[in-house]
Every structure is written in structure tokens, then in C-alpha cells.
Amino acid sequence: MPDPSLQAPPSILVAGRLLIDPERAPEPGWILVRDGRIEEIHSGDAPSEAPGLIVGGRDRLICPAFTDAHCHLPQFPVIGADGLGLLEWLERVVYPAEGSWGRGGALAGARRAVGAMAREGTAGFAAFLTSHAGPGADVLSWLEQDSPMRAIAGRVAMDRNAPDDLIASDRAGGDPDEPADRAGDPGTENRVRRSLNPRFAPACTGPLLEKLGRGAADRWVQTHLSESVEEVELVGALFPDAPSYTEVYDEFGLLTPRTLLAHCVHLTDREWAVVARRDSIAVHCPTANTFLRSGRFNLDKAREFGVRVALGSDVAAGADIAMPRVARAMIETAKHRAMGSTEPVSIPTPAQAWDMITRTNAQELGWSGSGVISRAAAADLLVLRPPESWFDEHLIGRLLYGWESGLIETRVFNGGIVRPDTI
């Protein structure tokens, strides 16, 4: 049964300056939350008395909570293992960390990771677990029954180029016929959905990808694509008949409108066209790309081909759990590209970056009723207390560049007050 501490009170009145549109200054107002949804939105001062709980105040800022489109729950303890390239980092840092989930550390590790995200204001995420069947089932059940978060999550699927304890037959992961991985209707507003998660092509044989592809049409799929040059070269050696890395996934039916493709750093125009044709989602992970020196995502190229883009922390290659810092890194990546280019480069504004980690990320992950302040929207909200001096035309930039979790006074997820240290 769900933890009683996660149950929402009958109603919550949230008062403050409402950040409804990051392109516009927030205005005083109040929100009535009931049954997990925003029931009413009003301008002006809040009533002095109201049924239920009252949070916020005149000097508070009320905004949607954040969504992270790509992370790895088992990797939170190994943030900061620097100085390695992607493949060596996986072998020396990530795989040993993931092995601990098979030795009894899964549920506690997942709770710590989710608590860390909640502390930074994240109310929804897309995540990889490990390949372990039993521990993965336990974590998925906990996410569904007791966690206050939205989640798209699934066991890692891989059957080669990894330690034996991660690719044993019962740990290859992601069998579309396996009840432990069966997903709900991906077109609904389900708070937790179970996904198929092929780690990346170098860790998956053709037969495994084929099996996963059979269940991909009506499931969320998470994987990695073209993160580093050495990875792309390895895929070319392992799949010599495939025209490109992207087309390895396409051949097996894994590219759909519900496929999240983390990184997409080194795509050719041909590959961008394939991603666009399948309407899959490129997940930009700027902090991780910098940490592993993998390369710079080309946001202009994604826009040129009409590819949908979301933003992810990619913990633990990404060292920042806080999505405002990841959004800042997206801006900085574009600025670095602009400084080294003779061609025009589009640089996202702070408002555009803020929209990415709230409305856009939630929408791309299928939660169209989240990430916004509007009537009937999901009540996933943050009450912030920024310095009064921040309330000028640069408010959003100040939030991104000056972010710290201490700015958050109250977290309202799924219509209830959430305290990260109790998750």
C-alpha cells in the first residue's frame, strides 16, 4: 500500500508570484490544489482563511516542478569519477556500481536517488535501472506504489561486452513478454510507466535488439545513441552491414515516437533524417557530454531536421542532479559552439531553457498535463524563496545561474507536500 505520508491533504492553497510563462514577469496570485490537480487559479492576494493547508506567501515564487528526461538511478553514488572516456568509464566505474544492486542495494539506492532529485525540485524523470530482474521488479513496484514522482523506468537490457553478473540470462533485461516489464498504456497520464531499455548497441546482440523491437510499438523505449566517437566506431565494427548507428536501432523497430535517444552528439545528416522520420526524441545531456569529453550536441541541427528535443541530467556522467544547472549547461554548450564557429549558432534564452525543464520535458515524456500552471494540470509545483533583488527582467537567468536547492521552500508533487528526506 502507498505510504500514508505521501497522501495529499484534502486541499492545498499555494500563494505567491505565479510563474505561468517564463517569457513574462510572474504576477501575484494563488492556486487551489485538490485531488492531485490544480482546481483553481486566481490573481491577487490569497484569502486569509481557506480549507486545507496554506503554503507560500507574497514574496514567494510559484513555478512548475522539473522533469529530467534521462538519468541512471544506480549511478548516483559514482558522480565525479573523472578523467575517463565513455567506454573505459563504463567498465571501471559504472558496471561495478550497477553490480551492487544485485547484492541487495537496489531499493535503498533507488530511494536515495529519487530523494536527491526531489531535493532539487524534480518531480518526474526517465531512468535506467540495472539488468537485475528481482531487484528491478522491487524498484519498479516501489516507484508505482510509494514514490511521489512521475517516472518512465525499466531494467537495462544487454547481453554482451559487460561483466558476467550483469549479462547472465536472467539479467539480459527487457523481455517484452515478461510481466515484470509490462507497461501500461503509453498514451495515458500514468505517473509511472515501465520502459524497454537497451543500454546501447555495443552491449546488445542482434537477437536481443530484435526481441526488444517486437515490443517497442506500444512501449516507451530508452537507449543511448552516438555519444562518443569511439562508441560510434565500435558500433560500426559490431554491425558492419548497418548503414549507420541510428539505423541499427531502426532496423529492429526500436525508433518510435516514444523512443528517448540520449546524446545524439555525432549524428550525420542521414541519421538526423531517420530520427526525424520516426519522430523519436533526442535527449540532450550537456553536463554529461562535457564531463566525458564526448562532444557538443548540435541543437541547430536538431531544429533543422525537426527533431523533438528533451533535456537530461544523465547522472552519473552528468554531475549535476539539479535540472536548472543542466538547463544552464545547455545554454553554455550553444555559446561554446558559437565561439568556435563561423556559422550562426542559435543560443537558447534563459526562458527557453526554463521551458525545456518544465513544460517541454514533461510534454515529450507524455505528461502533457504536467510542467505547467493551468487549470486541471497536475499539481507538481515548487514554492521558491529567491532574493527580492532577483525579481527583475533577469529573474529566469538568475534562477538558472544561481540555483541551489535551498531556494525551494515547499515541494507539492501529485497534490501532496513532499519532504525529500522521508522518501
Question: Which three three-digit cell numbers place residue 381?
Answer: 509545483
Residue-level pLDDT at 185: 45
Report whether pLDDT(183) > 50.
no
Q: For 271-306, b where at least 16 C-beta lie within 10 A, e where not — what string? A: bbebbbebebbbbbbbbbbbbbebbebbbbebeebe
Report whether pLDDT(188) > 50.
no
Please give the biggest Cα pair distance in the chain: 70
Percent helix, percent strand, percent coil in the chain, to nearest 5: 40, 20, 40
Residue-level pLDDT at 49: 79
Among 186, 213, 183, 217, residue whose Cα is nearest residue 198: 213
244-254 pLDDT, tens digit each: 999 999 999 99
82-139 pLDDT, tens digit each: 999 999 999 999 999 999 999 999 999 999 999 999 999 999 999 999 999 999 999 9
Helix (H, G, I), strand (E, B) or coil at 18: strand
Instruction: Give percent of the chain with pLDDT exceeding 70.
Output: 93
Using alpha carbons only, what angle is made at residue 392 by residues 386 and 397, rounded to the nearest 5 degrees?
A: 70
CA distances from 17 to 202, 360, 373 (A): 49, 22, 12
CA distances from 294 to 44, 144, 159, 291 (A): 49, 34, 24, 8
Residue-level pLDDT at 7: 54
CA 245, CA 308: separation in Å to the nearest integer? 19
Do 118 and 128 touch, CB atoms closer than 8 A?
no
HEC sequence for 311-327:
ECCCCCCCCCCCHHHHH
> How confident is the model over 408-421, as a mean pLDDT?
97
Residue whose grid cell is 517541454: 360
Residue-level pLDDT at 175: 57
Residue-level pLDDT at 8: 55
Confidence band for 169, pLDDT divided at 50, 70 and 90: low
User: Which of residues 42 and 190 earns the better pLDDT score?
Assistant: 42
Residue-level pLDDT at 190: 83
What are the phi and psi torsion angles at 328 (to 5°)?
-60, -40
DSSP states of 245-268 as a string? Answer: HHHHHHHTT--STTEEEEE--S--
Task: Say how many C-beta atoms besides its own lie within 10 A of residue 184's C-beta.
Answer: 14
30-77 pLDDT, tens digit each: 999 999 999 999 999 999 877 789 999 999 999 999 999 999 999 999
CA distances from 200 to 181, 211, 234 (A): 18, 15, 11
Element (H, E) at 283: strand 281-284
Residue-level pLDDT at 48: 81
Report whether pLDDT(6) > 90.
no
Do 173 and 157 touch, CB atoms closer than 8 A?
yes
What are the phi and psi torsion angles at 273 (to 5°)?
-65, -40
Domain 66-364 has CATH 3.20.20.140: yes
307-365 pLDDT, tens digit each: 999 999 999 999 999 999 999 999 999 999 999 888 999 999 999 999 999 999 999 99
Residue-level pLDDT at 401: 98
Confidence band for 4, pLDDT divided at 50, 70 and 90: very low
Annotated domain spans of the chain: 4-64+372-422, 66-364
CA 159, CA 212: separation in Å to the nearest integer? 12
Report whether pLDDT(186) > 60.
no
65-84 pLDDT, tens digit each: 999 999 999 999 999 999 99
Question: Which three three-digit cell numbers place residue 23?
Answer: 517569457
Report CA dihedral (297, 303, 305, 309) to the nearest 10 degrees.
60
Report CA dihedral (249, 89, 320, 343) to the nearest 10 degrees.
-60
CA 223, CA 260: separation in Å to the nearest integer? 6
Question: Which range, 104-108, 169-173, 187-191, is most confident?
Answer: 104-108
Note the helical H segments in 204-260: 206-214, 229-238, 245-251
> What are the beta bridge partners of residue 189?
none
DSSP states of 130-165 as a string? Answer: -S-HHHHHHHHHHHHHT--SEEEEE-EE--SSS-HH
Output the average pLDDT for the chain. 93
CA 99, CA 131: separation in Å to the nearest integer? 9
CATH superfamily of 4-64+372-422: Urease, subunit C, domain 1 (2.30.40.10)
Q: Going by C-beta distance under 8 Å and a sequence separation of 6 or more, which residues neighbour residue 381?
A: 14, 31, 33, 62, 63, 64, 65, 373, 411, 412
> How confident is the model over 213-218, as a mean pLDDT?
94
Overall residue count recorded for the chain in this entry: 423
